[in-house]
Amino acid sequence: MSANSFDARSSLQVGDESYEIFKLSAVEGSERLPYSLKVLLENLLRTEDGANITADHIRALGNWDQNAEPSQEIQFTPARVIMQDFTGVPCVVDLATMREAVKELGGDPAKINPLAPAELVIDHSVIADKFGTKDAFTQNVEIEYGRNKERYQFLRWGQTAFDEFKVVPPGTGIVHQVNIEHLARTIMVRGGQAYPDTCVGTDSHTTMVNGLGVLGWGVGGIEAEAAMLGQPVSMLIPRVVGFKLNGQLPAGATATDLVLTITEMLRKHGVVGKFVEFYGAGVTAIPLANRATIGNMSPEFGSTCAIFPIDAETINYLKLTGRDEQQLALVEAYAKAQGLWHDPSHEPVYSEYLELDLATVVPSIAGPKRPQDRVILAEAAAKFAEALPSYAAQASKPTAVTAPDGTSYEIDNGAVVIASITSCTNTSNPSVMLGAALLAKKAVEKGLHVKPWVKTTLAPGSKVVMDYYEKAGLLPYMEKLGFNLVGYGCVTCIGNSGPLPEEVSAAVNESDLAVVSVLSGNRNFEGRINPDVKMNYLASPPLVVAYALAGNMNVDITRDSLGKDADGNDVFLADIWPTELEIEQTVAGSIDQDMFAKDYADVFAGDHRWQSLPIPTGNTFEWDTESTYVRKPPYFEGMAKTPSPVNDIAGARVLAKLGDSVTTDHISPAGNIKAGTPAAQYLTEHGVDKRDFNSYGSRRGNHEVMIRGTFANIRLRNQIAPGTEGGYTRDFTQADAPVAFIYDAAQNYQAAGTPLVVLAGKEYGSGSSRDWAAKGTALLGVKAVIAESYERIHRSNLIGMGVLPLQFPAGQSADSLGLTGEETFSFTGVTELNESRTPKTVKVKAVAADGKSVEFDAVVRIDTPGEADYYRNGGILQYVLRSLIG
């Protein structure tokens, strides 16, 4: 119950239903706030308890100073939690383990239950093993169930054991598309109250739901677990960037081009840790699917969220996707009553302002290694040639390849070996999906073919996509070019592109070719997509098809021929690019409400495979000691009811010295498990054949596998072990400090009682919100990280696992301070945290082997009192567990 200090409790009548609401107008200053802060204000009014959330917090938000740097902490209580299976499995593993820990400490295991609705979509496990055939989808699903049976049994048990926890089974769709098409409420109804739908998700692209006016963002699995258990998310009232949109997109420009332009602008402006909010007359010209695409890219420009307010377009989309009439009426009535309805003529107060004329957007792609690196399409071939020397040791000669059917061809640097329409960035968007299919139709009619070395895959975000492809009569053309359905899920984006054909892989590795993937998802990071592929480009679905036809990044697809027609004439991109009118008419004629109603009618039930999985019963899980997928983690072993005092850190060694832009992909185990690695050795010792190693993501419910894969990315460059790539370090417990696997060295350090530290550059931990990047770091024995700057979620996750995030003094770095990583480190002043205050800095002393030392004051990046509580308890889960018992 809210303390209701502002007498904000009221009622709203919508049709025959009456709802309790908390009026924003009760708080002075609320009308001038940006949309996103109004949502936070309502959250505080409704959850005011006089202790964690007080009248002063509410007043502070009402009196928001748009020019101030964030300093006021508030507690945000998300309405719900959304998860995908890679990050969701550890959440359920931890909940199951917490039930046992509560029992051991004399508490009630049933207390460990989601207190906020939690929904998990299994979408990250399907691998494109089979492709280019009509039965590829069926075969891949069968393989998926075979590989992941133990995990899926565990999740089915969770679905029955926990209240308020629902699972969308495999083969249904991508979490973010299922979220916008079905799970998102926009306005939530619960216990007779109506309030804005808000969510946190265990995937950084949770922000896709911002397109529907839902305030939400990605958090680590650790924070998500706490939110599920009723813990508010501690945050500072942010700065809000107002992004004004004017005009309309020109012909030939897609939603992808728009989002890459916005990403570049916001990256340049600097929005890390800020809210971004779109407003202005141009907003009304942006279809909901395009808004969702823009929201989806929020992690790529670094903002916490990228939100569009509720308007008529929101209602139209909710109606199209099958939400009931009462819900539609409620969303509109509530938004208008609370001042949350977008008024293009009203300009809220913002901290910073940007503006874009949509008419200036031009066709673009991004790459070759980051989604924020926009390349104008007309310059793509030239920019590729500029980047190539960084990836290819020398100019290669074309390499001959003989296919299984006896045909032969040659591939060279720049060959597009993967062309994949995949993941949530674009596959939620009918205009670009149907644009790709229309381009395919024209290409087939002209007699064009995809080059034989290109692995083509189609992985839409929901079943609705295949419904409208079929209704539009366009599926045969996609299939003719090899874009057959391989699965509904993340697939290529998550690194589940599957192996290249053996003959292609052999040629690439034999000649050390710098080959390319072109994908419609925004995870085009180094080492992410496929171990054989060095360069990765993000492109709209129509351009994915175009590059499959061109077959090489050296082709300037805006000017060069893509192939020849039946009469031997050159065919250019302009000849097959669909017009705006064609796309609009196809969208209007092929998508209807019935499709969504049919595909989501029984979305949690699953098919016969899901329903026939045998599961244990009971409210605590029966752990299988032989399982290599799901194991009970050690987080609560030996845990007392009260935390031990925080200690300073002495005698620490450097596990890794890293450069700038080290992503969570570099840190966290991701992709397939390679033979010869510590994780592979562990699986082999446990009787797993190499062909069944599967991916790290599929095994993230087993901490033993995940620790061994932490810092093991094939593209990681640890400067302590120069000349190596991958999970290597120097082991200073041994004479001469030999190069060793990071896992093996960490085990030796733990045996010797030596704490560990990581040194890093700028933007440490950027990319996806991976809880295992923090969990693995902690379990390897790392006690502190010193970086030049952090990505928001990873910094928070480190604290959530009891690791101290520190920052070099402004303008300083490991190199400028002369640190090699061979020193022994000590940290003093950490113990101030025992006195319920967080020190601004701690004293760091690094002593080299010759006795010379470097001293500096590192900035403590524990940014809120809530984070300090987590750190004092050894982590967020320990804090929650003690709170529940207390």
CB 601 within 8 A of CB 467: no
Please state at what angle helix 771-779 crosses helix 85-104, rounded to 10 degrees: 50
What's the CA gap between 296 and 598, in Å, rounded?
A: 26
Can you give the pLDDT at residue 395? 66
Do the domain assignments include residue 632? no
Whether the CA torsion 17, 21, 24, 25 is positive or negative: it is positive
Position 86 pLDDT exceeds 90: no
Q: Which of 60, 78, 102 is the last residue of a domain?
A: 60
DSSP3 helix / strand / coil % (the chain, rounded to 5): 40, 20, 45
Residues 717 and 705 in one domain: no
DSSP E strands, 460-566: 516-519, 535-538, 563-564
The answer to whether residue 261 is domain-embedded is yes
- With CA atoms as reference, report the closest residue to 552 among 673, 452, 675, 688: 452
β-strand 535-538 against 455-459: which pairing, if any?
Answer: unpaired
Dump pLDDT digits (tens) for 668-695: 988 789 899 999 999 999 999 998 898 8
Amino acid identity, position 839: P
220-234, 313-327, 524-538, 652-666: segment of lowest average pLDDT: 220-234
Same domain, 336 and 459: no
Distance, in Å, from the CA atom of 413 to the CA atom of 622, rounded to the nearest integer, reads 52
Together in a domain, 463 and 595? yes
CA–CA separation, 771 and 93 (whole Å): 13
Closest Cα partner for 557 from 538, 532, 576? 576
Neighbours of 339 (CB within 10 A): 18
Beta strands in 219-283 (DSSP E): 233-236, 240-246, 275-279
Q: What angle do CA 683, 674, 522 make, to 5 degrees?
A: 120
Q: What is the CATH number of the domain that holds 334?
A: 3.40.1060.10
Residue 676 per-residue DSSP state: T
Whether 455 and 594 map to the same domain: the answer is: yes
Same domain flag for 210 and 351: no
User: Which of 626, 630, 637 is CA-nearest to residue 100?
Assistant: 637
Mean pLDDT over the full length of the chain = 94
pLDDT(396) > 80 = no
Banded pLDDT at 843 (limits 50, 70, 90): very high
576 plus 452 within the same structural domain: yes
- The verdict on 494 and 390 lying in the same domain is yes
Same domain, 572 and 583: yes
Sort 852 into a burial class: Cβ within 10 Å, 0-12 / 13-18 / 19+.
Answer: exposed
Predicted confidence band at 581 (pLDDT cuts at 50, 70, 90)?
Answer: very high
The counts of H helices and E strands in the chain are 30, 34
Sign of CA dihedral 378, 383, 384, 386: positive
Does residue 226 fall inside a structural domain?
no
**What integer pLDDT is reported at residue 263 of this predicted model?**
96
How many Cβ atoms sit within 10 Å of the Cβ of residue 690?
Answer: 11
624 found inside a domain: no
What is the C-alpha to C-alpha distance for residues 309 and 72, in angstroms, rounded to an integer?
24
Distance, in Å, from the CA atom of 80 to the CA atom of 77, rounded to the nearest integer, reads: 9
**What gap in Å lies between CA 511 and CA 414, rounded to an integer?**
13
Residues 468 and 593 in one domain: yes
Specify the number of domains making up the chain: 6
Task: Tell me how far the alpha carbon of residue 288 is from its chain's centroid.
Answer: 21
Average pLDDT over residues 619-634: 90
> Which position has the token pair 């502002």?
6
Contact (CB, 8 A) for 5 and 27: no
Look at strands 841-847 and 853-860 and give their pairing.
antiparallel
Pick from 685, 663, 381: which is nearest to 495 by CA? 663
Return the DSSP state at 184: -
pLDDT digits (tens, 9 = 90+) for 517-544: 999 999 999 888 999 999 999 999 999 9
Tokens of 407: 């045909």
CA triple 557-561-563, angle to 5 deg? 115
262 within domain boundaries = yes
Domain end position, chosen among 45, 60, 75? 60
Asked if residue 354 lies in contact with residue 242, where contact means CB atoms within 8 angstroms, the answer is yes
Distance CA 154, CA 146 (A): 14
Instruction: Flag whether 612 is in a domain.
Output: no
B/e letters for 643-662, b = 16+ CB within 10 Å, e = fewer, are beebeebeebbbbbbbbebb
Structure-token pair, residue 165 = 């926890």
What is the DSSP pairing of strand 649-657 with strand 756-759? parallel
Question: Is residue 228 a part of any domain in this protein?
Answer: no
CA–CA distances in Å: residue 572 to residues 382, 450, 532, 550, 759: 18, 14, 30, 10, 50
Question: Are 41 and 30 contacting, i.e. CB atoms less than 8 angstroms apart?
Answer: yes
Q: State the number of CA atoms in the 13 A half-sphere of 642 facing the CB.
A: 2
Q: What is the DSSP letter of 801?
A: T
Count CB atoms within 10 A of the CB of residue 879: 20
Query: pLDDT digit string (tens) for 752-773?
Result: 999 999 999 999 998 776 789 9
Integer Cα distance of 231 and 221 in angstroms: 13
The parent domain of residue 193 ranges over 65-219
Strand 364-366 with 374-376, pairing: antiparallel
- Encoding tokens for residue 283? 């907003």
Mean pLDDT of all residues in 255-278: 96
The predicted pLDDT at position 769 comes to 61
Residue 460 has pLDDT above 90, yes or no: yes
Residue 20 CB coordination number (10 Å): 15
CA angle, corner 226, sides to 206 and 878, nearest 5? 140
Reading the block at residue 590, the tokens are 């092929």
**CA distances from residue 630 to 159, 373, 872 in whole angstroms, order as listed:** 16, 38, 29
**Cβ-proximal residues to 187 (8 Å cutoff; 6+ apart), any chain:** 194, 195, 196, 197, 327, 330, 331, 334, 335
Any bridge partners for residue 853, and if so which?
847
Sign (positive/negative) of CA torsion 177, 179, 182, 187?
negative
CB-based contact 806:785 (threshold 8 Å): yes
Cα distance between residue 473 and residue 479, in whole Å: 12
- Domain-located, residue 229: no
Contacts of 37 (CB under 8 A, 6+ apart): 61, 64, 237, 240, 275
Query: Among the three residues 332, 362, 392, which one is the final residue of a domain in this structure?
Result: 362
Q: What's the length of the chain?
A: 886
Contact 547, 557 (CB under 8 A): yes
Which pLDDT tens digit goes with each residue over 301-350? Answer: 999 999 999 999 999 999 999 999 999 999 999 999 999 999 998 889 99
Q: Are residues 105 and 194 in the same domain?
A: yes
Which amino acid type is present at position 412?
D
Indicate whether 710 pLDDT > 80: yes
Closest CA to 621 of 95, 85, 88: 95
> Which residue's structure tokens are 């093991």?
712
Do residues 137 and 73 both lie within one domain? yes
Residues 6+ apart with CB under 8 A from 621: 96, 99, 154, 157, 161
Alpha carbons 341 and 349: distance in angstroms, whole number: 16
Q: By percentage, how much of the chain surpasses pLDDT 70?
A: 99
Residues 6+ apart with CB under 8 A from 757: 649, 652, 653, 654, 655, 782, 783, 784, 785, 786, 825
Model confidence at 867: pLDDT above 90: no
Radius of gyration of the chain (CA): 26
Q: Are residues 705 and 715 in the same domain?
A: no
Alpha carbon of residue 122 to chain centroid: 14
CB 785 within 8 A of CB 803: yes
Which CATH number characterizes residue 99's domain?
Answer: 3.30.499.10
pLDDT score recorded for residue 400: 93
- Asked if residue 233 has pLDDT above 90, the reply is no
Q: How many angstroms separate the CA atoms of 834 and 320, rounded?
A: 55
Closest CA to 193 of 334, 314, 298, 55: 334
Q: Quote the crossing angle between the two packed helices 430-445 and 288-296, to the nearest 10°.
A: 100
How is residue 13 written in tokens? 């009548």
CB atoms within 10 A of CB 120: 25
Question: Is the pLDDT score of 407 beyond 80?
Answer: yes
